[in-house]
Amino acid sequence: MREFKVVVVGSGGVGKSALTVQFVQGHFVSSYDATIEDSYRKHIQIDGRETRVEILDTAGTEQFSGMRDLYVKSGQGFILVYSVDDPHSLRELLPIHKLIMHLKQGQQVPMVVVGNKSDLHGQRVIPTEHGRHVAREWGCSFYEASAKLNHNVSEIFTDKMRIEVGGQQVPLLDVIEALRMRDEALNKVDTAKATSPFSAPVEAAVEPLVKQWNWTFRGIRLLLLASLWLGALLWFAALWNRDSFCPYVAHPVAPQPPPQPVHQHAAEP
């Protein structure tokens, strides 16, 4: 069974746990401990294939720093949550997004920016356009949701299950699985006969990534071989003391005998 790991992040009190519990268990929790992190699992259908979604509901940003590197590295998708009634919660997503991009090293990471508590009309302080602008700058999806009213909750968690390739939406897990299968096929002798069960859009998403990784690995191998050859030449040159191997290796200079004194003879009369 396929599994997709989602990490829900944001400052304390924005409703991360309420969104997660509403999606997994189908009911609204009005009170919870913002310092506790928990994990949930739910089975859903994506294009007729059963997928297990593992959701990590992290603590607030104040407590999140302790294990955040581990969470980010293991996560395959991220839900960045702020509350429309908290002016600081949207700003606190900036360092989290920066950390995700740093640890993922520029990979295409599915992310969704969520303005929660959209039902609090009279208490809203963050306009919808502000959240949409941040999501646009980061190149990710944007939703305003309400865990209390179950508005846009399912869309938040299923949105990141797909990526756009050539104008078509394809399942992200198919791309991940295809990359793994391609990597295994590259280690086989007869890769030309290897077949893929995935659709053309998925293959189109995988092919440039495979080519890029292949050239990267080839470059690393060439650099390692060149370093080994250079090290061997330097070692032999130092051992045999031959200028022909490496003219930059210093050679000891044989000591010269001290100069002999010159005796002056008096001229005969």
Q: Enter the tokens of residue 136.
A: 């646009």
Does the structural domain 2-160 have CATH classification 1.10.260.40?
no
Q: Where are the domains of the chain?
A: 2-160, 168-246
- Among 230, 169, 160, 199, which Cα is nearest to 5's? 160
Q: Summarize pLDDT for 117-150 with one digit per residue, the tens.
A: 999 989 999 999 999 999 999 988 899 999 999 9
Across the chain, what does the average pLDDT equal? Answer: 74
The pLDDT assigned to 45 comes to 76
**Residue 247 clears pLDDT 60, i.e. is over it:** no
> What pTM, to 2 d.p., does this model score?
0.62
Judge whether residue 198 has pLDDT over 60. Answer: no
Q: How confident is the model at residue 59 (pLDDT cuts 50, 70, 90)?
A: confident
pLDDT at 249: 44
190: which 2 tokens?
Answer: 């007869």
Long-range contacts (CB closer than 8 Å, 24 or more residues apart) made by 152-159: 152/118, 153/19, 153/22, 153/23, 154/23, 156/19, 156/23, 156/79, 156/112, 156/114, 157/6, 157/23, 157/53, 157/55, 157/79, 158/44, 158/46, 159/110, 159/112
Other residues' Cβ atoms within 10 Å of the Cβ of residue 131: 21
pLDDT of residue 232: 74
Q: Is 153 helix (H, G, I), strand (E, B) or coil?
A: helix
Per-residue confidence (pLDDT) for residue 29, from 0 to 100:
86
Q: Does the structure show a pLDDT above 90 at 208? A: no
